[in-house]
Amino acid sequence: MAQQALIEYMREKHMKSMSSTYQGLKRQVTYVQRETYEIDEKGLKKELTAKVYNKFTTPKLDRKKLEAAMEGGDVDPMLVAKHTKTKQSEPYLKFTEKEVDDEGEDS
């Protein structure tokens, strides 16, 4: 598939985007790969103790409260980091087009 080959090429060359201008349109393709974080809530609850953990949860972990507690010094961010892992999406390409003037500048 052409898109997959372009993804591989851009990954190998560490390219974030490519663009070209033709007939007054600037076409751009951008390499995108998102990251999300997953917290091992069971492990975190065990280390924090249920009493402390429950301050930051409703039926599920309240990330905003936990982040505030880390910022306020109530919870050690390194302890939370032990129970957090980064999850990446599959890479994909984002295509855009813009009209450009005669000098090739964006309109």
Give strand pairing partners of 6: none
Q: What pLDDT shows up at residue 56?
A: 85
- Residue 15 pLDDT: 92
2: helix, coil or strand? helix
pLDDT digits (tens, 9 = 90+) for 46-89: 999 888 988 888 778 899 999 999 999 999 999 999 999 998 88
Average pLDDT, the chain: 88
**Which residue, among 92, 85, 102, has the nearest Cα to 29 in the 3D structure?**
92
What's the pTM?
Answer: 0.46
